[in-house]
Structure 1
Amino acid sequence: MIQQPLLIIMVLLAIELLVLSMANHQRTKGWFNLLPPVFWIYFLPMLASSFGLIDPKSPVFGMITTWLLPACLLLLLLPVDIKAILRLGPTALVMFFVGALGIVAGTALVFSLLKPLIGQQFWSGFGALSASWTGGSANMIAVKEALSVPDQVFAPMVIVDTVVPYLWMATLIAGVALQPAFDRWNRADRRIVDELGSRSLAAGQALQQRFSMGGFLLILPVAAAGSSMAHWLGRQLPAIKDVISGYTWTIVIVSLLGLLLSCTPARKLEQHGASKAGSWLLYFVLTAIGAKASVASFGSALLLIGAGLLIMLVHALFLLVAASLLKAPLFLVAAASQANVGGVASAPVVAEVYQPGLASVGLLLAILGNIFGTYFGIFCAQLCRML
């Protein structure tokens, strides 16, 4: 069994690099169509620790998550363009937030119904899941660490977060044929779609990166300084037992700090790969979290997948009611839904399927989820805890 911290770090890095290189290679990237790279980056370290290759109790895992997670969250929020998101207009923004509200309400409702079957200890796991489905993987991991979600609770949630969004995306894409009939029945205002096209096109083109090594070397000090500041401020604020800890404050503060920096010239670091560096750090944090878990934790995944599908039904109901009240087209229902549940990787795909040329609408709504997902997840977890 490998116990030396440096050797463990090398094993985790090797797993991350192997998965990412295979996912980007022309011959092997098709293998990840069913189970995405993020799943394998979590699952393979879990196998390594479960079968005795690396020590699952090594303190190096805690150090990785404690110090690198705030840094990666800061980098992932740097490229946020608040003005571009606001230009989407009130209807698109309301639809997104209604979809997020449906996830939070559905998660709390389903947890309260299934608590006798799954156990009350899953309250924090459901909160982490809601963070992913209102933001993305980074938000899910942030809530996991902020609330100290037990590994045996978090592990099956990774399965749910892999299976249910793919099923939901397939459902949304299959519904594209219903778009004309739905818009006629709902008397949807199609001018919304035309306005979105003019507002979001330039914004979608502005998110390109121009990588340079000099700029990349500036990224790490900014991430380190922001992470250290968030840690220091988090220790100064009061902790509330079972509600908010010092590290919860750290996650909340660093998310806000990243958002504030996106309104300054620091946002230009995205041209040099800030969010890409943040993604690499996030995947490395995920390998450390996976190495602490056990394969035995997957036993309750099937029931939890059913719970996830019930949450999707509540989420869909919220969006359909909002679409009826706002006369929103089905395009916005689908784009807002996938922006919540699927995030930046898949929301542009669904938006493009419904309205060719408007992939940037899905992207900008998904970025909005990255901003608020952590806060929604912590709030939802507290709802579940009170239940």
Structure 2
Amino acid sequence: MQTETGAATALITNDAVVLGLLAAILALVFWTSSLSSKLVGRFYAIFPPILLCYFLPSLLTTFGVVDPETSRLYFIASRFLLPAALVLLTVSADLPAFVGLGPKALIMFFTGTVGVMIGGPIALLLTSWIAPDLMGAGPEAIWRGMATVAGSWIGGSANQTALYEIFEAGPDVFSIWIAVDVLVANVWMACVLWIAANQKKVDRILRADVSAVDRVREKAEAYEVEHARIPVLKDLVLIFGVGFGAVGLSHAIADPLSAWFGAHVPIAQRLSLDSSFFWLVLVATIVGVVLSFTGARRLQGAGAAKVGSLLVYVLVATVGLNMNIGAVLDSPAYFLIGGVWMLIHVALMIGMAFLIRAPSFFLGVGSMANIGGAASAPVAAAAFHPSLAPVGVLLAVVGYIIGTAAAWFTGLVMMQIAAGAG
């Protein structure tokens, strides 16, 4: 949807300048967070650095300094920096330790899926009672746009596009719900980043059993300490070569694979198998896992995970550009509906986490694997600890696979609700 802060009115349209601004914001946040002032310490206890790295770029969009729709920075970050970060964060992964995390990760993920599937119809039902004039009819019916959001919030953008085609949503309702999708999901993403920065407090509230997650984290930290060394130029070149060499390999495999599945497998679209981004994330993760069984794992001691984390922070900043808080003023009722929908999802997640004593890590990553998909789940996981990023990727892949079918069923339920309201 073209925002009011479009290309003609955005103050800065040069991506090089925007990238410089984002780099300066990241540097400013990290520099100020390292200051020894008590006031600064209290401020960052409330607003953790990663949250500011996400929120401050959104102000550039909200106040018309940057137009994310014309900028290519997010596309570049998600297609180049994200797979490199996945490889560098996964190369030191301990797969047996991930298996030891138990079933709670999957339970929380599927709880998030159910939350989206239940939340949409409930929000629509409330709308039909309170504001029936919003329901619409034909291609512009509200339920059609909501079905595309369900595809995005269970799987990802590829699933959203599939639902757009399946339910033949009109362009106006689709554009409104894209804005709702982005803003509401990004607000919750900000909350997840806050949870990650305050995970010990949240875990105490949830009465969580964090032993399994702590074992993975401690084992990764012990490995890094044992093999830590001051990196020399050769180490940095090797880290760069492994990360971006894997990016090239992933693109070389992902593009023809997605084209082949799209041409030869009838259900490819419903399973996101025709999405090159799906294969890009999956192949990059597989490459990282394979390398973790080789000598490349020793790059962890030279700072591979720290370089991967830097790339994640750049991605976080570009994701923040997509959040235009002022967009709420354009269609407040639709954002209210989306907010109710998200609150139902979150309430179900928190309730299940409390019930099974799941750590906040599973709550945040299980949710973002649905709501944010492959671009956000590893970011959320890495915010809890860099060694946990692969868990976010694997759950997001599950979301891609089931996203279209689950959202299709949700759309059918919402269609019946809309028909009954009419």
Q: Is the 8 A contact 1:65 1:145 kept in 2?
A: no
Q: Is the 8 A contact 1:85 1:365 kept in 2?
A: no
- 2:13 maps to which residue? 3
Distance 2:399 2:339 in 1: 18
- For the pair 1:54 / 2:29, whether they are aligned, the reply is no
Cα distance, 1:270–1:370 mapped onto 2, change above 3 Å:
farther
- 1:218 maps to which residue? 238
Cα distance, 1:174–1:341 mapped onto 2, change above 3 Å:
closer
Cα distance, 1:211–1:233 mapped onto 2, change above 3 Å:
same
What RMSD over aligned residues (CA atoms) do the two structures have, in Å?
4.0
Distance 2:296 2:90 in 1: 11
Q: Is the 8 A contact 1:230 1:253 kept in 2?
A: yes
TM-score norm. by structure 1 comes to: 0.69
SS in 2 for 1:162: helix
Distance 1:279 1:200 in 2: 15
Distance 2:186 2:393 in 1: 21
Cα distance, 1:164–1:369 mapped onto 2, change above 3 Å:
same
Structure 1 residue 52 displacement after superposition: 3.3
| Percent of paired sites with the same residue | 18
Q: Is the 8 A contact 1:129 1:161 kept in 2?
A: no
User: 1:217 is aligned with what amino acid?
Assistant: V
User: 1:173 is aligned with what amino acid?
Assistant: R
User: 1:105 is aligned with what amino acid?
Assistant: V
Instruction: Give the counterpart of 1:156 among 173, 177, 184.
Output: 184
Distance 1:265 1:225 in 2: 16
User: 1:253 is aligned with what amino acid?
Assistant: V
Instruction: Give the counterpart of 2:92 among 61, 79, 86.
Output: 79
- For the pair 1:68 / 2:68, whether they are aligned, the reply is no
- 1:41 maps to which residue? 53
Distance 2:346 2:354 in 1: 12
Structure 1 residue 314 displacement after superposition: 3.4
Cα distance, 1:313–1:2 mapped onto 2, change above 3 Å:
closer
Q: How many residues align?
A: 329
User: 2:222 is aligned with what amino acid?
Assistant: Q
Distance 1:373 1:269 in 2: 26
- For the pair 1:232 / 2:252, whether they are aligned, the reply is yes
Moved more, 73-82 or 22-31: 22-31
TM-score norm. by structure 2 comes to: 0.64
- For the pair 1:311 / 2:345, whether they are aligned, the reply is yes
Q: Is the 8 A contact 1:123 1:384 kept in 2?
A: no
Distance 2:288 2:215 in 1: 28
Distance 2:215 2:190 in 1: 34
CA deviation profile, 1:233-278 (whole Å, cap 9, x unmatched): 1111133447442222212221222222222222221111112111
- For the pair 1:15 / 2:34, whether they are aligned, the reply is no
CA deviation profile, 1:112-161 (whole Å, cap 9, x unmatched): 43356586545666676668xxxxxxxxxxx5699689465223212123
Cα distance, 1:287–1:199 mapped onto 2, change above 3 Å:
closer
CA deviation profile, 1:47-77 (whole Å, cap 9, x unmatched): 2233233343133443333222221222222
User: 1:161 is aligned with what amino acid?
Assistant: M
Cα distance, 1:380–1:217 mapped onto 2, change above 3 Å:
same
Q: Is the 8 A contact 2:86 2:288 kept in 1?
A: yes
Structure 1 residue 171 displacement after superposition: 5.7
CA deviation profile, 1:298-337 (whole Å, cap 9, x unmatched): 556666555445334434665677xxxxxxxxxxx43x33
Q: Is the 8 A contact 1:127 1:380 kept in 2?
A: no
Q: Which runs of 5+ in 1 are unaligned?
A: 132-142, 180-191, 322-332, 345-361
Moved more, 229-238 or 14-23: 14-23
SS in 1 for 2:102: helix
Structure 1 residue 226 displacement after superposition: 0.7
Q: Is the 8 A contact 2:51 2:193 kept in 1?
A: no
Cα distance, 1:266–1:34 mapped onto 2, change above 3 Å:
same
Distance 1:196 1:59 in 2: 36
Cα distance, 1:343–1:257 mapped onto 2, change above 3 Å:
same
Distance 1:383 1:39 in 2: 33
Q: Is the 8 A contact 2:180 2:335 kept in 1?
A: no
Structure 1 residue 340 displacement after superposition: 1.0
Structure 1 residue 13 displacement after superposition: 0.9
Q: Is the 8 A contact 2:15 2:73 kept in 1?
A: yes
SS in 2 for 1:25: coil
Q: Is the 8 A contact 2:90 2:387 kept in 1?
A: no
Distance 2:159 2:230 in 1: 32
Q: Is the 8 A contact 1:99 1:316 kept in 2?
A: no
Structure 1 residue 4 displacement after superposition: 2.7
Q: Which runs of 5+ in 2 are unaligned?
A: 1-10, 128-141, 162-176, 263-267, 367-383, 411-422
User: 2:280 is aligned with what amino acid?
Assistant: T
